[in-house]
Structure 1
Amino acid sequence: MARSPASPASPRVSPPDLPREFAPAAARRSADLIAASLELDGTVDLAYASLEQCTVAADADTVDLTGSTLIDVDLTGVRIASLKMRDASIRRVRISGGRIGTLDLSSARIDELLLSDVRIDYLNLGAAKATDIEIRDCGIRTLDMPQAELTRVRFTGTRSDEVDTRAMRATHVDLRGLDASAFLDANSLRGTTLTEFQVQQLAPLLAGGIGIQVMD
C-alpha cells in the first residue's frame, strides 16, 4: 500500500475539557453526572451511566462502566483490579498513572484516548472502533486487539509481553514505540508502521505466514 510522506499520521489527542470546580457525586448505575468528582472503592456499578467533564479517583476491586458514555473524563493514579468499559462511548478520556489489572475496552467506540504511565496486566481492545489513541510510557502484559478497527494510534515508550492483532484493521497505526516480546499474527499488521529492527524480529513469523520454511 502506498504511503504518503506524512504517514503515519499522528493521533489527534487533546486533554479533557474540565471545569475549574467539581461537585462530589455518588456512583450509581445509569447515573447522569456533569462536572462531578468521583472517589471509588470496592465494587462500583456505573454501567450505562453518562459522565461528562468528570474526574475519577479509585482504589477499587471492580468498576463497571459497561455501555457508558464518557466525555472529557480524567482518571489519575487509579488502582483498579477490573475496569469494565465494554461497549462504552469514549471521547477525550485520559488515564494517567496507577495500576489496572484488566482494562476491557472491547467493542468500545473511542475518539481521543490517552493512556500515560499506566501499568496494565490485560488490555482488551477486541472489536473496538477507535480513532486517535496515544499510549505512552505504559507497561502492558497482554495486549489484545483482534478485529479492532484502529485509526491514528501511536505507542511510545511502551512494553508488552504478548500482542494479539488477529483480523485487526489498521490505518496510521504506529507501533515503533511498542517493545513487544511476541506478536501472535504478523499477517494482520498491514497498515502499521514498524522499525527495521522490529521487522527483523518478525521475519520468521512473516515467512511462515506465506509458507516459507526457514532453515540454516
Structure 2
Amino acid sequence: MARASVSPAPPRVSAPDLPRHLKRVEPARGADLLQATLHLSGDVDLAHSSLEQCLLTADAERVDLTGATVLDVAAKDLRIASMSLRNAGIRRLRITGGRIGTLDLSGSRLDELEIRDVRIDYLTFGGAKGSDILIADSTIRTLDLPQAEITRMAFVACRSDEVDPRGLRAKDVDLRGLDAEMFTDANGLRGTTLTTFQIQKLAPAIAAGLGIQIKD
C-alpha cells in the first residue's frame, strides 16, 4: 500500500553553498559578485546585481537589492532600517540574527528562504511567488502576504501582531508555529494549516465572513 503523503508538506531548505575562502568586495549597483563577503553600511545600492555564494553583514540605513539575483547567500546579524528585494530572484538565502525595520520581498521569485532569530517590523511577500520558506524563532510585527503564491512554508516559535493574507494562494502553508494576535482576513487562509486554538481565536472573523451574527 502506498504511504500517505504528509500534510502539510514541510519546506525543503538547505544551507547556502559557500566556499571556505571569500574575498572582501565593495557593493555597487549592477555588480556581478561571486564568492564574496560584503559589510554594508549607510545607503547601499545593489539593485539589479548578481550575488552568488556570498556572505553579507550589515549595519545600514537602507539596502536596495531590487531586481537582484541572489543564489547561495548567507546574511548574518543584519541591522538594517529598510531592505528591498522587490522583484528579486532568490534561491537559497539564509538570514540569521539581527533586526530589520522593513524587509520587502514583494514581487520576488523565491526558492529556499530561511529566516531565523530575526526581529522584523514589517515583512511583505506581496505578489511574490515562493516555495520552501522557513521562518523560525523570529518576531514579525506585521506580516503581509497579499496576492502571494506560496508553497511549503512553515513557522517555528514565531509571533506576530498582525498577518494580512488577503488574496493569498497557499499550498502546504503551516501557520501552527506562528502566534498571531490578528489575521485581517480569514478568507485568505484557505490552504493553510492552523491549530484548534488559532481557529477559536479566528471564529469571530470567520463568522463575519459567513454573515453569521454571534450573540450570547
Quickly name the TM-score band, shorter chain normalised.
over 0.9
What's 2:133 paired with? 133
Within-5 A mapping of 1:77-156: 77-156=77-156
Question: Which SS does the other structure have where 1:10 is aligned?
Answer: coil
Partners in 2 of 1:93 and 1:210 — Cα distance? 40
What's 2:25 paired with? 25
CA shift digits 1:182-204 (9 cap, x unpaired): 00000110100000000011011
Partners in 2 of 1:189 and 1:165 — Cα distance? 6
What's 1:65 paired with? 65
Partners in 1 of 2:15 and 2:210 — Cα distance? 43
Shift >6 Å, 4+ stretches:
none
Partners in 2 of 1:188 and 1:149 — Cα distance? 11
AA at the equivalent of 1:67 = G
Q: Mind listing any 5+ residue stretches in structure 1 that lack a counterpart?
A: none
What's 2:181 paired with? 181
AA at the equivalent of 2:25 = A
AA at the equivalent of 1:118 = V
AA at the equivalent of 2:152 = R
Identity %: 62
AA at the equivalent of 2:185 = D
CA shift digits 1:57-115 (9 cap, x unpaired): 10000000000000000000010000010000000000000000000000000000000
AA at the equivalent of 1:165 = P
What's 1:9 paired with? 9
CA shift digits 1:142-196 (9 cap, x unpaired): 0000000000000010000000000100000000000000000001101000000
CA RMSD in angstroms, aligned pairs only: 0.6
Q: TM-score, normalised by structure 2?
A: 0.98
AA at the equivalent of 1:130 = G
Question: Which SS does the other structure have where 2:212 is aligned?
Answer: coil
Partners in 2 of 1:200 and 1:5 — Cα distance? 27
Residues paired across the two proteins, number: 213
AA at the equivalent of 1:175 = L
What's 1:194 paired with? 194
Question: Which SS does the other structure have where 1:87 is aligned?
Answer: coil
Question: Which SS does the other structure have where 2:202 is aligned?
Answer: helix
- Alpha-carbon deviation of 1:5? 5.0
